[in-house]
Amino acid sequence: MLHPLLRHFIKDFLVLILLLFAVQANSFAQVSFTVGNLTRTENLDALPASGSPVFTQNSTIPGLYGERTGTGTTIVAGTGSSNAGAMNSFGTSADRALGSVGSGNAAAGNFTYGYRLKNETGTTITALTVNYNGEQWRNSAAVDLQVVQFSYLISTSAIETTSPAGGAVPTNYTAVPELNFSNSVSGGTAGAIDGNANRQTKSFTISGLSITPGSEIMLRWYDPDHAGSDHGLAIDDLSITATIEGGGTPTPVLSVNPPTLSGFTTSEGTASTPKSYTISGTNLTADVLITAPAGFEISTGSTYTSSLTLPLSNSSVAATPINVRLTGAAQGTPGGTVTNVSGSVSFDITVSGTVYDPNTIASIALARSQPVNTPISALPGGKIAGRVTVSNQFNDVAYIQDPTGGIAIFNAAFRSSIQIGDSVQITGGTLGAFNSNKQVSGAVTFTSFGSQGPLAPRVVTTTQLPDFEGQLVTVNAAVIRPNTTVASSNPVFVLTPDANFRLQDGSGTQEVRINRGTNIPGNTNPANPAAITGVVGRFNTVTQLLPRSTQDIPGSVPYAPTGGTIARSQTLDVATWNIEWLGSTGNGPTNEAQQVTNAISVLNSLQSDIIVLEEISSDNAIASLLAGMPGYQGNCSPFVSNNPGHEIPANPATPTATLPANTQRVCILYKSDVATLISQKPLMEKVENLTGYPTAVDNFWASGRYPYLWKFNVTVAGVSKQVNVIGLHAKANEGGANALVAYNRRKYDIQVLYDTLKAQYPNDLLILAGDFNDDLDRTVADIATTETTYKPFTDDAAGFTGVTQVLSDNGFRTYLTEDNVIDHIMVSNELAPAYLAGSAGVGTPYLTIPDYGNTTSDHVPVVARFDLSQLTLVKVQYQNGDNGNGQATNNQIKPYLKLVNEGTTAVPYSELTVRYWFTAENYAGINTFIDYAQLGNNKVKMTYVRQDTPARNGANGYVEYGFDPSAGSLAVGGTSGPIQTRIANKDWADLSETDDYSYRTNTSYALTDRITVYRNGTLVWGEEPPIAPALVKLKVLSENKNNRPNSNSISTFLKVNNEGNVPLAYGDLTVRYWFTPEGTASLNYFIDYAKLGNANVTGQFVPVDPVRTGAETYLELKVNPAVGTLYPLSNTGNIQYRISKANWSNFVETDDYSYKAAAPFSENDRITVYYQGNLVYGIEPAVASGARLSTSETSEGLHVRVLSNPVSDIFDVEFSAPAGEEVRFQLTDLQGRTVLQHAMPATGQWQRQTMTVRHQAAGLYLLRAQAGQQSRLIKIVKP
């Protein structure tokens, strides 16, 4: 028996269900206008003919409403005989009418009747013609006129009531008096009357409507209660006709796309993959019936049938996909049409397909040609077959191949169940493409028939690779190269995981990809051309060769830095590593604990004595590392990135630093039994004013991540040295518009670092290690220039050596996802000899750390080793061999040398070279002589090396001494004995020694650091002469050989001295002698003698316009370019020339501008010299007073000349202008951007202004000088 509470619950639940159904009936049973039915009629004969049942709105008769303001829910069938207040179904037969009587029961109240209609025509209704009969079924005997009033309501939402309490015309309703009706009988005896005999037919068109598609209209009749004498009035025989916008009946439209579906394929017994078309329709008059032809079936979902119906909504069918497929019932080529019919309109879809024999095997070539998402089952026979060419080597896809082609299979179960050479059949799965690489994926089903032996690869060229996608091929005589240009012509580097490289043969270039699932990462590319094998894949538009193992790359060997024959106990081993965001919870690898564990494993495997770390992002991280590295100590720089104060603490008064998020710092780890920390400090500090810094000064040096110096005493194999280790993490690169700003920031930072080290640590043992964020051979920034930001260091080969640049030169990478090496180790020249050749290398932690790039770091470590015993203490002693005669200027230099070994190991002489630096005045080629060598004259070699670029102070070349291997070794504590030599010009012209860098006056042997010693090309003793700014400086010496200034010829001896340090091509030089010819006779010149060769000196006469003081013309002399070069500290030799008139009349030389009275050779700055068209020596004559300017040439009151052009980082400008004038200089680039500005008051004499362009790129610049209304423009070249 049910519990009473449960019975009560069930009862309530059933009531609730009934109410829900009632609500649904109210909401959805309304009557609609459709395109095929614009007239709706209702005779009301469905009202009850007897009894008093409940009247349900919009349900007793769909669309019909009958409501009252009083009580009651029933409708009473009757003939009008009763005066009881009620809603009535009036009639004497089956013909019924809807009415009411109110006065007999005041509780019934006022009555309303309604008819609810909806617009489902798809078009706006603009008018309704309403017809109905108003009938009187009872006479109450009242004599007054009783009116039933008509109104309507339009709404875009459902209308579910006639609002009986709203009176005759409720809010938002519109009255239509033409459709009101009233009683036709009154007075007399109360009782029933025949409504069919007492009726009024009402008809009226309501125009100006706008019933939009989907909107509703409620037609409402209001019958108020007439107290005590209410007639029985009713409505009957409703007919409502809609007029749609535009009039008439809309044309039905049925649309289908595409009109044809072809290419269905399947095997017998299996339905095909569906294809679909879309159908839609408007203004339809009937539901759409869709029927498939034989052999096909259709569906709008997952259930397929031979036919289906789409119901209308608002006379329309929304766009609906119809799926069509082959039933697969029988083999053959079924076809026909899928018919789509709605009333008078139809559309046929043509379909065709093939049902194959299930025993057929489709070719892989056919499979590759199918559209994406084609199932294997849709192929002929529903299967493909082939031989496995890749199983689990790639750890993601396998490959199979048949005689027609190959394809990838993306399925873990498949690749782990087969081996290369297995014969397999694929019977399930879906054809697709991953980044355009064709593959089978999804629910792959297969059968393996065991090994049939590996397939032989097809031999192709790189240009043919795109034709063999998915197939196993070999490219003969191929090389693997880095993607960027490198210095080595035959680079050998380590192949990194998930990286792409260039594959080249004689036909062209394609891409080879190294998959991390293979055993290839950590091996090298072949040193020589090889037959390289792999499967051809595709990544979007790029064809790739995919080797499967090192066996596919003959000549690939496990990578290891060379130099490993020396035990680690004998060397100082240094490493640097960027551990991506170590300690940051919001950046880098997500599993912090795993990253620390992995990092400890990598660091311990390095076995390095000193390790510089970058991107350490918390103070705790270094302690976590040290906890797993016994024997090591370490600490971090307190200077971090993105810290506005650039210091810790930001406020010294605050005991605890408050750091911004995402800070990075450099740190160090070191073996305490090898290195003892002496001190540490930053190399930079925050400054408030950085001239020319590309952005805000707070961004200086990677936003405060300053280079940090640790000073150590290191002891290795009994050799102790003090070494300064500098940790670097330079400004990172940026993309887009910020790329150049980031580059310029780093460039500025590096220049400051270089200047600091040169000034403060000129002779120290320095190691610079870290994330340089740039390569040493070329920049990695995505900008126009390729110049590395480390150019100050790489240009100073005598001062610094990038020991890891060999990695760059060979195409290594230290940042896994990009080419180039951005992590480096660089040393000062003092430490360079200790570098163990070949020891620079990279770590390969991805061989032991799973998913290394995601779990540990995006960089790999960089390592180098140093043999401190090789810090050779070979020094040189010098004696001036000819100083005893007291002559510092004569025709030969006599350097006497001795080498002394103060080190701990013997040094082979063949590894040593010595340089004696000097200036070769009057250069005509150099001869060298070995007068005596205790080692044996034949054991010593001398070679002169001219070195004009870069210019150096006190030297434009050197004599290099070398030694034959037969000389043996320089013993510990021993000397070479005397080596007595001579140096001379080939023409025995004088050499002046006082300005020679290596010259000393001592007459007995003594140490000198001005003569440099090199071991295997690395400086080990002495200092090379400093580089000097390039200087173009010429001087003219002249001698007048004519004692009579009034004679028929001007006779001058001339020399041009090169007093600068730049070799000048004779073809770029011209000389002008300024004079007045006194008359109009034509002029002649004669070269009486020239050391350069008479025929090599030519001239021309040039009239001066406007006339200048002392000059109406000048003789311009030139030297044949074939003569070659005017070397520094040399001269042209004597050039003897004469000027005469054709009529041999006399000159008056005393008023000639360039004239100088007869005297021996001396300087004459009134003879001007030009280099590449620019005045470089002398002063041109001023424009004569009163002379007219026939051209736009301005006054010569302002004179400007650049003393060295092309210029170096610093150059001088000489100028003269009238006293009191302000001379303004402006240097701009070719885009008009100002590079620098200077202003100086003129004194009326020659003055000099120094200008700096250190931070400017190489190129052409324009120097404009202005004084008053005068200006000069000079092109400046910075090479």
Mean pLDDT calculated for residue range 420-432: 96
pLDDT of residue 1020: 85
Overall domain count for the chain: 8
Residues 368 and 350 in one domain: no
Mean pLDDT calculated for residue range 542-556: 97
Condensed to tens digits (0 to 9), the pLDDT of residues 580-637 reads 999 998 899 999 999 999 999 999 999 999 999 999 998 789 999 999 999 999 999 9
Closest of 577, 1023, 482 to residue 798, by C-alpha: 1023
User: pLDDT-derived band of residue 645, with 50, 70 and 90 as boundaries?
Assistant: low
Mean pLDDT calculated for residue range 820-838: 94
Q: Is residue 14 part of a domain?
A: no
Residues 937 and 857 in one domain: no
CATH number for the domain spanning 681: value is: 3.60.10.10
Residue 1161 to residue 377: CA distance in whole angstroms? 104
Look at residue 1196 and tell me whether its pLDDT is greater than 60: no
What's the full length of the chain, in residues? 1279
Look at residue 1140 and tell me whether its pLDDT is greater than 80: yes
Residues 533 and 580 in one domain: no
Point out the domain boundary residue: 967, 999, 1021: 1021
pLDDT of residue 106: 66
Residues 1211 and 1133 in one domain: no
Q: Is residue 753 part of a domain?
A: yes
Fill in the amino acid letter for 1130: S
User: pLDDT-derived band of residue 19, with 50, 70 and 90 as boundaries?
Assistant: very low
Q: Is residue 20 part of a domain?
A: no
- Count the Cβ atoms, other than its own, within 10 Å of residue 1028: 17
Q: CA geometry: angle at 844 spanning 841 and 848, to 5°?
A: 155
* Widest pairwise Cα distance in the chain: 170
Task: Give me the helices (H) in 648-736, please.
Answer: 700-704
Residues 933 and 962 in one domain: yes
Condensed to tens digits (0 to 9), the pLDDT of residues 684-720 reads 877 667 888 998 888 899 888 999 999 999 999 888 8
CATH number for the domain spanning 1266: value is: 2.60.40.10
pLDDT of residue 13: 40
Point out the domain boundary residue: 403, 430, 455: 455
Residues 787 and 908 in one domain: no
User: pLDDT-derived band of residue 20, with 50, 70 and 90 as boundaries?
Assistant: very low
Residues 856 and 907 in one domain: no
pLDDT of residue 1030: 85
Mean pLDDT calculated for residue range 285-313: 95
Residue 118 to residue 33: CA distance in whole angstroms? 6
100-134 burial code (b ≥16 CB/10 A, e <16)? bbbbbbeebbbbbbbbbbbbbbbbebbbbebbbbb
Return mean pLDDT, the chain.
Answer: 90
Task: Give me the helices (H) in 319-417, please.
Answer: 364-368, 412-415
Q: Is residue 56 part of a domain?
A: yes
Condensed to tens digits (0 to 9), the pLDDT of residues 483-505 reads 998 999 999 999 999 999 999 99
Condensed to tens digits (0 to 9), the pLDDT of residues 729-787 reads 999 999 998 999 999 999 999 999 999 999 999 889 999 999 999 999 999 999 999 99
pTM of the entire structure? 0.58
Fill in the amino acid letter for 1006: A
- Of 15 and 787, which is predicted with more confidence? 787
Residue written as token pair 């037919």:
201
Residues 584 and 722 in one domain: yes
Residues 89 and 235 in one domain: yes
Q: Is residue 1231 part of a domain?
A: yes
Contact between 63 and 30 under an 8 Å Cβ cutoff? The reply is: yes
pLDDT of residue 660: 65
Mean pLDDT calculated for residue range 318-328: 96
Q: Is residue 781 part of a domain?
A: yes
Provide the strand spans (E) within 751-822: 765-771, 800-802
Condensed to tens digits (0 to 9), the pLDDT of residues 349-363 reads 999 999 999 889 999
Counting other chains too, the contacts that 57-61 makes at CB distance below 8 Å and 24 or more residues apart are 57/26, 57/160, 57/161, 58/25, 58/26, 58/29, 58/30, 58/116, 58/160, 59/22, 59/25, 59/26, 59/29
Residue 157 to residue 162: CA distance in whole angstroms? 14
User: Which domain, by its residues, includes 461?
Assistant: 456-560
Residues 417 and 480 in one domain: no
Task: Say if residue 1160 is preceded by a cis peptide, omega within 30 of 0.
Answer: no
Residue 1240 to residue 492: CA distance in whole angstroms? 58
Q: Is residue 1110 part of a domain?
A: yes
Rounded to 10 deg, the angle between the 592-606 and 619-626 helix axes is 50
CATH number for the domain spanning 547: value is: 2.40.50.200
User: pLDDT-derived band of residue 1031, with 50, 70 and 90 as boundaries?
Assistant: confident
- Of 824 and 886, which is predicted with more confidence? 824
Q: Is residue 1187 part of a domain?
A: no
Mean pLDDT calculated for residue range 1216-1230: 87
Closest of 114, 147, 106 to residue 130, by C-alpha: 114
- The pair of structure tokens assigned to 894 is 């006599």
Which phi and psi angles does 910 have, rounded to 5°? -65, -15
Condensed to tens digits (0 to 9), the pLDDT of residues 1245-1279 reads 888 888 888 778 888 888 989 888 788 888 888 88
End-to-end CA distance of the chain: 108
Residues 463 and 550 in one domain: yes
Condensed to tens digits (0 to 9), the pLDDT of residues 1032-1062 reads 999 999 999 888 888 999 999 999 999 998 9
pLDDT of residue 585: 85
Point out the domain boundary residue: 821, 836, 870: 870
pLDDT of residue 687: 67
CATH number for the domain spanning 322: value is: 2.60.40.1510
pLDDT of residue 279: 96
- Count the Cβ atoms, other than its own, within 10 Å of residue 551: 11
pLDDT of residue 655: 41
Residues 820 and 943 in one domain: no
CATH number for the domain spanning 1088: value is: 2.60.40.710
pLDDT of residue 108: 85
